[in-house]
Each structure stands twice: as C-alpha cells, then as structure tokens.
Amino acid sequence: MAARGGPSAWLTSETPASRLQARAVRGYLAWRRLRRNPLTLLGIAILLALVLVALAAPWLATHDPLAQNLDGRLLPPGSPGHLLGTDDLGRDIFSRLVHGAGITLTIVALVALTAPAAGLLIGTLAGYLGGWVDGLLMRLTDIVLAFPRLILALAFVAALGPGIENAILAIAITAWPPYARLARAETLTLRNSDYISAIRLQGAGTPRILVGHVMPLCLSSVIVRVTLDMAGIILTAAGLGFLGLGAQPPTPEWGAMISAGRRFLLDQWWVATLPGLAIFVVALGFNLLGDGLRDLLDPRSDRP
Amino acid sequence: MAPRAGAGRAIALAARLLISLAATFFGLLLVTFLIARVVPIDPVIAVVGEQASPETVAAAVRELGLDKPLWQQFAIYLGKVLQGDFGTSVLTARPVLEDIARVFPATLELATLATFLGVLIGLPLGVLAAVKQGRWPDHLIRLLGLFGYSMPVFWLGLMALLVFYGQLGWTAGPGRLDVFYEDLVPSVTGVILLDAALAGDWEVFGNALSHLILPAGVLAAYALAYIARMTRSLMLEQLGQEYITTARAKGISEARIVWRHALGNALVPLITVIALSYAFLLEGSVLTEIVFAWPGLGSYITNALLSADMNAVLGGTIVVGAVFIGINLLSDLLYRLVDPRAR
Amino acid sequence: MTLLARRLLAAALALGLAPLLPLALSPPGARADTPPDSLLIATQIDDLVSLDPAEIFEFSGADAANNIYDTLVAFDPRDLGPLVGGIAERWSLEADGRTYRFKLREGLRFHSGNPVTAEDAVFSLRRAILLQQTPSFILAQFGFTAENLDETITSDGPHDLTLRVDKPYAPSFFLTCLTATIGAVVDKQTVLANEQDGDLGHNWLKTHSAGSGAYRLRVWKPNELYALDANPDYWRQRPAMRRVFVRHIAESTTQRLLLEKGDTDIARNLSPEDIEALAGRPGLKVEEDLKGPLLYLAMNQKHPILGKPPVVEAIKHLIDYDGLARTLLRGQFVPHQAFLPKTYLGALDEQPYALDVAKARALLAEAGLAEGFAITLSVRNVPERLQIAQSLQSTFGQAGIEVALRSGTAKQVLTSYRARKHELLLGTWGPDYPDPHTNADTFAHNPDNSDAAGLTGKLMWRNAWDDPTLSAMTEAALLERDAETRAALYREVQRRLQRQGPFAIMFQQNIQSAMRDSVEGFVTGGAVANSFYWTVTK
C-alpha cells in the first residue's frame, strides 16, 4: 500500500487507492491549509497547553488548591511563595487555576460528547422518518429553542440541585437543538439519494441505515459546529458557576472563582481578574480553532 | 395563478403557522410548569416564610391550590393564562403581568441600544474586512470579533464597571437612574430614554443614558462581533458577483460600488442577522443585568426561579419565548417583503 | 432596492447615533452630590415582599414600617434601653396580671388627616390576628383568637384601649411584643376604603401605606428601591430629610463605589475588606451597632452519627471561632455562644468552646469514630456564607470529618431544614421581638418531637432535639414576673443547651454602616429595634 515517495506522497496522492487513504489525504491537505493560518495555530497551541496543564496539574501546582490559610488572605501576585497571590481564604490562586483547567476540560468534553450525539439522533430520526415523528421532534426542538438558553439551564440546575454534574447535564439539555436541526437538514438531502436508496434496496433496516450510513455522513458538519460551540459551552458553564449553580466550593472552577472574587474587585483585583483571563484565553483558543476549521471545511456555515 | 387559490394557500399557510405556534407555546408552558414544580423548594415557604404556624401554612396551601393533583393545577393555570391572568408573584406581591410590564422595558432598552451599537460599529467593520479581505484590517477585525465571542460577559461587565465608573468616572454606576432622578418623568413607555424625551427632560435623559451606556456596551461586544462577521461574509458574496465586475467596468467609483451596490444587496439578509442578534440579546442579558443591577426581565426571572416564585417564572419565560418567536417570525416576514426572490 | 437599503442604513445610523449626542454635550463626572434634604441608602432589600405591617417579617420591611407606622409602645432611638410611649401615652396592668389598659395620646393624626383613635388601634390588632399572616403568632401567643377578639381587644372611649391576655405573663414580654412591626397602628378608614373581597385592605396595604409615622410610602419597586416622603406634621419631630430613597444594591463592591462617588449617603452591607479600605478616607465614616441575628451550626439529631453526644461536642470544638472573627468576619460578627443576643435580658457571655482539634479527636474516638466520617453541610449560596462553610470544611477535615457542601438559595435550604432532611446546616437566626422568649421558644422549646407534630417554626424541633426538662424550664421562665429571677432562669436554659444541645452558636451580628461624615443620627436600632430615618440630619 505504501506508494513511492513515502508517507508524504501517500498523503498527497491525487489517486487514493483506498477509502482510508482518501480520508487521510483529505485530512492532511486540510491540515496543510490550516497550518498556513497563524491564528488557528495559536488556537491549537492554547488548547494543547490547556490539556498539558490539566494533565500535569498535580506537578505544576505549587500548593494544595484547597489548603486554607486565614492569616495569608488576599496576598497580591508575586508574594513570596504565591506566584499569582492568594484568594479570600488564603488559597494559592496559581494552583487553583491550574487545577481548574481539568474541570473546564471535563465540562467541555462531556457536553461536546452528549449534546451533539442527542441532536444527531433526534435530527436524523426526524429527517429520515418524516411524517408525524418529524413534526413531533421538530416541535420539541422549537420549544427548547424558544427558551432563553441560560434561563433554561438555570431552571434545570435549580430543579436538579447545584453541582458540576447537573450543570453539565443542564448545558447539554439546552445545547442539542441546533445539532438536531443541522442533522435533520443534512438527512433530508440524503434521504432520497441513490446511495441510501441502494442500501435500502439491499434490505437494510432503518436503525442500521441511520447509524451506519446517515449519521456518519452528517458527522463532519456537526463536528465543525461543535468546535464553534465549545467556547460558548465554557462561557455558559462559567456563567452557572458565577451564579453559584455550577461546581460547588471548594472546587476551583473558574466561574465560581470569579464569583467569589468579585467582592474584592476594587482592592484585590487579581482574585477575580485572573480566572476571568483564564476563561477568556481558553474560550479564545476554541474560537480560533473553530474559526480556522470553519474556513476550511464549511466556509458558508455561520453561527446564529 | 388564480388569486383565489393564492389567498387560499396563504390562509392555509397562516393556519399551519398559527397551529404550530400554539403547539410551541403549549409545550413552553408545560415544560416551564413542570420544571417549576420539580424545583426542590416548598412553594408555600416562598409565600409564608420561615416561622409560619401550621395553620398559616395550611391556609397558603389551599390558597395556592397545591392540594389538587398536578394536572388539575396545570389546567387551572392554563385556563387563567388564556384569560390573560398570569397570577400574582410571590416575591413582589403584584400581578405578574404588571411586573413584566415594569421590567421588560428595561431589558428592551438595554438590548435595543446594544443592537444599535452593534450595527453602528459592526456593520462598517464587516464591510471594511470584506473590502480588505486577507489583509491586516481583515485579520484584525476577525481577531476583534473572536475576542468578543470569547469574553465572559459577567467578567467584562465587572471590569468595565471598575474602570469606567470606578476609576475614570466617565459613566454612571449600576441601576437605571441615579436615585434622585426616579419618578421625575411620567412613565409612559417604561423605556426611560423615551419617557424622558417625551417629557423633554434632558437631564433625566442624560442620566439614564449615562447608566445605560456601560451595560449596553458590554452586551454589544457580542452583537458587534456577530454582525461584523456576518456582514463580512455577505459582502464577500456580493463583491464576487458579476454585476460588481460590470459596475467596475462602467467606471463607477469603488466607494459607490461597495456602499451602494454591494451593501445594498447584502442588507436584506443582514436584516435577519440583526434580528437574530437582537433576539439573542433580549434573552441573553441575564448575567449583564445581574452585574449591573439592571432591573430587567432576565434578573427578574432568575430571582423568581431561585425563590420558587412559580407564576413569575412561568410568566417571564413565556414572554421571552414569545418575543423570541415573534422576532424570528417578523424577520422572516420582513425578508419575504423586501426580497422579491424569497416571495 | 438600493434606495430602501440606503434608507434603512441611514435610519439605523441615525437611531444609533442619536442617543450618543447628549453624552457628548454633558461633561461626564460633573454630577452633583446627593440633594441636601434627601437621604440615600444603598442596602439589600430583595427580602421585601410586603409593606403591610400585619405581614412584614423581614428586616427591610421592618425598617420601612418603623418609619411609616407608630406602635402603642416603642423604643426611643436615642436610648434603646427602656420602653417609652408611642401612640399610647401611658398604660397600667390590673391586679389580675392579665388586663392592660392604655391611654392614647391626643391630637395625633394619620397621613390622611384622620385622627388616631383607640378604634384604629383595636382595628389594627384585631386585623393582625384575623389575617393570620406569618408574624401573627407574636400576638396570638397571648391567647388572642378570631373568636375572642370582641372581649380581648376593646376600646372604652376614643383614647382608651384595653387588652386582655390569657395568662399572667411577664409584663415586659407582652409590652415588648407590642413594639414589633405587627403592633403597628394603621388608619382604619383609609384601609377599609381600599378593602377588596373582605381582605381588610391586605392586598392594598402590601404596596401602600396608611400610618401616622414620620414618613409615608411614595413608591416601592420590588428588588429596586422604595422611596419615602416626610410627614412634616410628625408628632415626635419634623424629619430633617424630606425624602428617603432606599435602593437595592446587592453587592458590597457596588455599594462602596456608590458611596465613594457620592451617589449614596449610607452603604449598609459592606464587606470587611471594603470597610477596611474606607477606613480613614476623608469625608467618610463607619458606625457600628450590635444587632440581634446569630450565626450558628445546627446538627440534625435524626442523623445516626450526629445523634451521638460526643460527636456533637467534638464539632463544637472544631470551629475556628477566633480565626473567623479575626479574618473573614472581622468587625461584622462577634463571638457569642449562647442563644440570647448580647443586650437582651438574660444574655449569657460565657464562651466555653474554642478550636481544639486534639480534644475533638479524643471525643470522636470515644464515639468510636476515630477515623472520622463523611457528612454534608447545607449552606446558602451567598459568598459570605460559603466562605464560612469552607473554613468549617477545612477545620473539620483536620479531625477526619469530611464535609461536602450543599449550597442552595435561602428557600431551598429552608425547605430541607423544615423537613428535617439536613445533616449539618449553617444558619442564622434573628429574634422576632425584643424579649428573651423569642429565641428561647425556638432554640429551647420542643413539646412534641414527633415528625407529625410539624413544629417547623422551632429550631429545636427541626433538629429533632428532645429534652422535656429544657422545654419545661423555658415555659417556667415565660411566666416569671420578676425580671432578675427571669434573667437567671434564661441563663440556666442557655447553659444547658450550650453543653448538650445540637447547636454550635458561634457569632452575633455587628453591623457596620459606612456613611458620609455629614450624616448624623442614623440609628440602626441595636438588637431590639429597627432603623430610624427620621432622626437623620446631614
């Protein structure tokens, strides 16, 4: 299978020998174009750094993120032993930020896995089956879409009780409708295509067609959309944390850290400002990457 | 096509639209009702407080109809809503409709000014980015837009408050008015800027504006980014079209081509974009309202939610939902109206 | 098309620009100070749900009512010790110990111009009983019921009022209860003129005022502000502040900014950090006042582990009373370990507990829990409380007790508390009226510990603490008519609860009001009364 000229030639071949190679070629070419955009690279760098920090948190952190010292409260950045100062309970802000990276990543990962999956399922079902199923599911989608998103998430958290798991669930519950719409639109164009008809003629059942053939084809546009939405997910999670409905103390979640620190904004600006910066940088990373990907894969799609 | 058939089709379309709207509303009501019921707060406590005697509690349970089965409670509520009665808020002891009439103009004022700012700055930036596609102004504007998308709005609000009010003193602080300007102008629309203008009281107007500018600016950050980005892509689409090449060949000035021809045609879809962003701001202002102590609908619903003030939550959510659906519908109609191709 | 487009664009630009013009014209930062005859207060009034004195049961409402209404008996803002006459000029107790006769002041008028008569007082007190709102128990506990009002609350002339209670209570107990907001005298004629469906004007009075006090209600916008207009003919004195604005500002930082910018005269909810930052700032000052609310940790005795006496004692030794008072709560709470606030009759100053991890460990070992245990702590999700909860979490951890926080809104926490479903709970308790019985009744009285009893108003029941001796001691103190003996009885009740009870009472609130230094005479009312605005000059 290895063509002349090694992997690079194999990856740029204009006559791919297999479906795998075709995909690899597409991916590689995309990566080459992606590489040309410095902003996208910056985004990737930020996200890589985030992952590294999250993984290496126990070694990077200089202190136990939960260790309190009431006599060393609200120390400014650069104080001996505390690179970024301490918060209102005397905890090391740098260590808390570092440990918070993992929490942010967990939230994003969980929402990014569940909401699109649900949306994909609902959208393809509606689009493929049509009729009253379509009507019902799309009505449901409309209802959730008509809700103010943050308020719906708030309502769910209020009902389920505050906590990081419930915050993730609430965000996922409010985030799926756009994916459902997207998947439905794609499915509608696919439903009557020769390709799907042929499979149907071969006697494949509906579940198999949906899972095996329709969903994979909808996946790429959904993935682009997910990347674009990641920053929004982070901001929503931080918003819930800010309102006291996300991760519970003493968890070093960034939104909750801003919320606790805003009382000291005037004199101890760093307590609220630093976690705010962290959220901003990570959200920016996701946006830069999403933006680059969009240009690459689907220049006409734009977020609402 | 015979006009009768056309009218018939229009009526059928309108009927379908109405039915689906009604279904959406019904679902909205049901879901909100259920959520409000599941919230682990005893609604009676919201009414009678911590030290109520068992007799007081029992009386409140009867008064709220909480001794009836859930579906009956919902049916009763639905019946009242259809008569325009949203019940009384526990938190404010006033009819919910009256509350909403008071708080909604505040949100409207905020979102409207934010959208104006977003259009005012975002539109020219978008055009500029399209014209300078691939060059540094384009990159800069794109980066700026991404900044807008990435900023936690409550944090931006806190920072803005700290700098522009706290440090520089350029604007007024939280709230809608300095307290001694309260009630100086009669409340006609509830939108203070309009009320002050109607009354000709420019001092109140200035004060209100000085309070409004910061939260509106913060809220505009997102709208601006979105509008600039969409303007750019719509403009690029227009600038690539044949009629532009023709116009250039005719020797029409570049400024005229960009601002008149290309933007003119891009403006139609832009209306939808702006409407969407407006709807988003109306419902997305919760955190901004909380940071700026802005007595709007977002903070009203949030407070109500956290206190199990069910009538207020339901009423508020329905209004926001209705506005959202309404704006979408309106922008759709507008689109059809101004763009002959979409008819 | 292009024409339309251009017009749309032009309109958008015009609308967008128009609001900015006046901004450009008026120089920023040139705002005047607060008007000299108006008082502006930045505080938290989101607890305000009604302005009907028969219903008011929150701090904000009580502050407002204290300036709108008069009561029969009152506290003098200049000396909060002895009771003084309000609408009643003098009173006497008959030999049966149950019949109180009041002589009302002559010549008083309501804001409406109607004269204040005994008829109004009878109406107001009967109304409070009939409406059965939450605070009605403050009067109902003296045996007033809807059925016996015709005999127990009566007038014998335009200025003569008679009240008959069911037992010979300590007179100070009854009289101080009359100073509570529920004892406010409302304008019968005005209220009844606004009656709807026999509600005794309740619905109307929630958002209006009909009193004889120093101020009348001008407007109340929930969660936003209320404004009062002075009553220039007020019988005590003409209020110096013609108008009072009380504005809801949730955050300390914002309140401080408003004060620093001269946009408010008084800021009432500043954090210790903000108070510290303001200290010594020219033109500003901070006044302190010891208030009634207590901060305590409750331990539900239904919980198998918390039900063990050594565990309860261990927990009382795991609180960093000094550290908290020195840091997080600096200036805003003072250590206090008994249920009667300082300045109350019978208040107990003894503080037997301090942070002592070794002792706590020994006690836990005695209970067979040397390895510690896991437990939840319910707490309101406001930053101040979460801070304290996290400190408890940290010190408890030193003895192996692993605390998970369960935060929620006040009402969520209260819901589980009243249902006895909490484990540990960080709570506050404010006295309902300035007599020791108010707190004794809730902390130390539980006549029936069964779930079915549903004595949800009593903290002792909520925490399932069954101690018939303690309940009997509380009942006895209530009927003791000699003040010294009564005080001694309450001290005994407190000691017993302090040793054995399921409460670690930690702190008493001390409020710090920051204000411009020209403001004089702002009285927050100590532990016994509410805020006075009519005494303020500036």
Which domains does chain A possess? 38-68+81-296 (1.10.3720.10)
Pair (C277, C320) in one structural domain: no
Query: What is the pLDDT, as a whole number, of residue C301?
Result: 96
Structure tokens at C101: 């006769």
Pair (C462, C335) in one structural domain: yes
Contact C263 B173 (CB under 8 A): yes
Residue range B229-257: mean pLDDT, rounded: 82
The domain boundary, picked from C153, C185, C203, lies at C203
* CATH number of the domain encompassing residue C405: 3.10.105.10
Q: pTM, whole model, 2 decimals?
A: 0.81
**Which backbone phi and psi does C507 adopt, to 5 degrees?**
-145, 155
Structure tokens at A149: 């998103």
Domain B100-342 sits in CATH at 1.10.3720.10
pLDDT per position in chain A (304 positions), as tens?
A: 444 556 677 777 777 777 777 777 777 777 777 777 778 888 899 999 999 999 988 898 888 888 888 888 888 888 888 888 898 888 999 999 999 999 988 888 898 889 999 999 998 988 888 888 888 888 888 888 777 777 788 888 877 777 888 888 888 888 888 888 888 888 888 877 788 788 888 877 788 888 888 888 788 778 878 887 888 888 888 888 888 778 888 889 988 888 888 888 878 888 888 999 999 999 999 888 888 877 776 544 444 3
Residue range B135-162: mean pLDDT, rounded: 86
Pair (C167, C231) in one structural domain: no
DSSP-derived letter for residue C182 is G
Give yes or no for a contact between C413 and C321, defined as CB atoms under 8 angstroms apart: no
DSSP-derived letter for residue B164 is I
Measure in Å the smallest separation between the Cα of A299 and chain B Cα atoms.
9
A160 to chain C: closest CA residue: C408
Q: Which residue in A143, A239, A265 is closest to B287 by CB distance?
A: A239
Residues C37-53 have pLDDT tens digits of 899 999 988 888 889 99
Measure in Å the smallest separation between the Cα of B44 and chain C Cα atoms.
9
Give yes or no for a contact between C418 and B42, defined as CB atoms under 8 angstroms apart: yes
Burial code (b: 16+ CB inside 10 Å, e: under 16) for B225-240 equals bbbbbbbbbbbbebbe
Measure in Å the smallest separation between the Cα of C127 and chain B Cα atoms.
15
**Domain-located, residue C208:** no
Contact A70 C324 (CB under 8 A): yes
Pair (C295, C389) in one structural domain: yes
Host H or E run for residue B221? helix B202-239
* CATH number of the domain encompassing residue C176: 3.90.76.10
For the ranges A52-66, C16-30, C202-216, the one whose mean pLDDT is highest: C202-216
**Which backbone phi and psi does C161 adopt, to 5 degrees?**
-125, 135
- Measured CA to CA, the distance from residue A286 to residue A290 in angstroms comes to 6
The answer for B 29-48 residues in CB contact with C (under 8 A) is: 39-42, 45-46, 48
Query: Which residues make beta-bridge pairs with C219?
Result: C227
- Measured CA to CA, the distance from residue B267 to residue B171 in angstroms comes to 33
**Degrees to nearest 5, angle at CA B300 with B299 and B302:** 60
Pair (C55, C79) in one structural domain: no
Q: Using an 8 Å CB-CB cutoff, list chain B residues near C17.
A: 120
Pair (C502, C528) in one structural domain: no
Pair (C195, C230) in one structural domain: no
Pairing of strands C243-248, C153-157: unpaired
**Residue C89 CA, distance from chain mean position:** 27
* Other Cβ atoms closer than 10 A to C517: 12
Query: What is the pLDDT, as a whole number, of residue B46?
Result: 63
Residue C22 has pLDDT above 60, yes or no: no
Give yes or no for a contact between C228 and C216, defined as CB atoms under 8 angstroms apart: yes
Residue C369 has pLDDT above 60, yes or no: yes
Contact C407 A162 (CB under 8 A): yes
Query: What is the pLDDT, as a whole number, of residue B336?
Result: 67
**CA nearest A293: which of A23, A118, A51, A39?**
A39
Q: Using an 8 Å CB-CB cutoff, list chain C residues near B179.
A: 40, 225, 227, 245, 247, 263-264
Range of the domain at C98: 70-203
Query: What is the pLDDT, as a whole number, of residue B172?
Result: 83
- Measured CA to CA, the distance from residue A74 to residue A89 in angstroms comes to 8
Give yes or no for a contact between B321 and A147, defined as CB atoms under 8 angstroms apart: yes
Pairing of strands C38-43, C243-248: parallel
DSSP C478-500: HH---HHHHHHHHHHHHHHHHHH
C39 to chain B: closest CA residue: B180
Stretch(es) of chain B classified as CATH 1.10.3720.10? 100-342
Residues C233-290 have pLDDT tens digits of 999 999 999 999 998 888 888 888 889 888 899 999 998 889 988 888 889 999 999 9
Residues C379-392 have pLDDT tens digits of 988 888 888 999 99
Contact C49 B93 (CB under 8 A): yes
**CA nearest A300: which of A208, A195, A225, A234?**
A225
Pair (C54, C98) in one structural domain: no
Residues B50-99 have pLDDT tens digits of 566 667 777 777 777 777 788 888 888 888 888 888 888 877 778 888 88
Please give the tally of structural domains in chain C: 3
Measure in Å the smallest separation between the Cα of B24 and chain C Cα atoms.
30
The domain boundary, picked from C203, C229, C258, lies at C203
Pair (C111, C172) in one structural domain: yes
Structure tokens at B244: 């532009």
Q: Using an 8 Å CB-CB cutoff, list chain C residues near A265.
A: 253
Structure tokens at C22: 């006046």
Residues B196-236 have pLDDT tens digits of 888 888 888 888 888 899 999 999 988 888 888 888 888 88
- Measured CA to CA, the distance from residue A290 to residue A46 in angstroms comes to 13
Query: Which residues make beta-bridge pairs with C42?
Result: C247, C267
- Measured CA to CA, the distance from residue C13 to residue A89 in angstroms comes to 50
Q: Within an 8 Å CB–CB cutoff, is residue C100 touching chain B?
A: no
Q: Using an 8 Å CB-CB cutoff, list chain B residues near C457.
A: 50-53
- Measured CA to CA, the distance from residue C205 to residue C207 in angstroms comes to 5
Q: Which residue in A70, A244, A263 is closest to C251 by CB distance?
A: A263
Pairing of strands C215-221, C373-380: unpaired
Q: Within an 8 Å CB–CB cutoff, is residue A72 touching chain C?
A: no
**Residue B327 CA, distance from chain mean position:** 9
Mean of pLDDT over chain B: 80
At which residue do the structure tokens 């570049």 appear?
A: B254
Pair (C253, C311) in one structural domain: no
**CA nearest C75: which of C236, C231, C194?**
C236
Helices B70-82/B310-338 angle, 10° precision: 50
Positive or negative: CA dihedral A148, A150, A152, A158: negative
Predicted confidence band of residue B340 (pLDDT cuts 50, 70, 90): low
Which residues, 6+ apart, have CB-to-CB distance to B81 below 8 Å? B29, B314, B318
Query: What is the pLDDT, as a whole number, of residue A5?
Result: 55
Pair (C481, C367) in one structural domain: yes
- Measured CA to CA, the distance from residue B125 to residue B232 in angstroms comes to 8
Query: What is the pLDDT, as a whole number, of residue C378?
Result: 93
- Measured CA to CA, the distance from residue B128 to residue B126 in angstroms comes to 5
Residue B342 has pLDDT above 50, yes or no: no
Residues C276-321 have pLDDT tens digits of 888 888 899 999 999 999 999 999 999 999 999 999 999 999 999 9
Predicted confidence band of residue C139 (pLDDT cuts 50, 70, 90): very high
**Domain-located, residue C437:** yes
Structure tokens at C429: 């308790």
Strands (E), C86-214: 88-93, 99-104, 153-157, 160-164
Contact C248 B299 (CB under 8 A): no
Query: What is the pLDDT, as a whole number, of residue A7?
Result: 67
**CA nearest C538: which of C59, C33, C66, C63?**
C33
Which residues, 6+ apart, have CB-to-CB distance to B315 below 8 Å? B86, B87, B89, B96, B97, B99, B100
- Measured CA to CA, the distance from residue C471 to residue B170 in angstroms comes to 61
Give yes or no for a contact between B144 and B137, defined as CB atoms under 8 angstroms apart: no
Q: Which residue in C382, C387, C405 is closest to A248 by CB distance?
A: C405
Pairing of strands C503-516, C225-230: unpaired
Residue C347 has pLDDT above 70, yes or no: yes
Cis peptide before C239 (omega within 30 of 0): no
**Burial class, C109, CB count within 10 angstroms (exposed 0-12 / middle 13-18 / buried 19+):** middle
Residues C503-534 have pLDDT tens digits of 999 999 999 999 999 999 999 988 888 999 99
- Measured CA to CA, the distance from residue B135 to residue B138 in angstroms comes to 5
- Measured CA to CA, the distance from residue B12 to residue B6 in angstroms comes to 10
The domain boundary, picked from C203, C222, C241, lies at C203
Give yes or no for a contact between A164 and A252, defined as CB atoms under 8 angstroms apart: no
Contact B56 C134 (CB under 8 A): yes
Collapsed DSSP state (helix, strand, coil) of residue C19: coil
Contact A159 B142 (CB under 8 A): no
Predicted confidence band of residue B40 (pLDDT cuts 50, 70, 90): low
Residue B41 has pLDDT above 60, yes or no: yes
Pair (C41, C150) in one structural domain: no
Predicted confidence band of residue B341 (pLDDT cuts 50, 70, 90): low
- Measured CA to CA, the distance from residue B213 to residue B292 in angstroms comes to 11
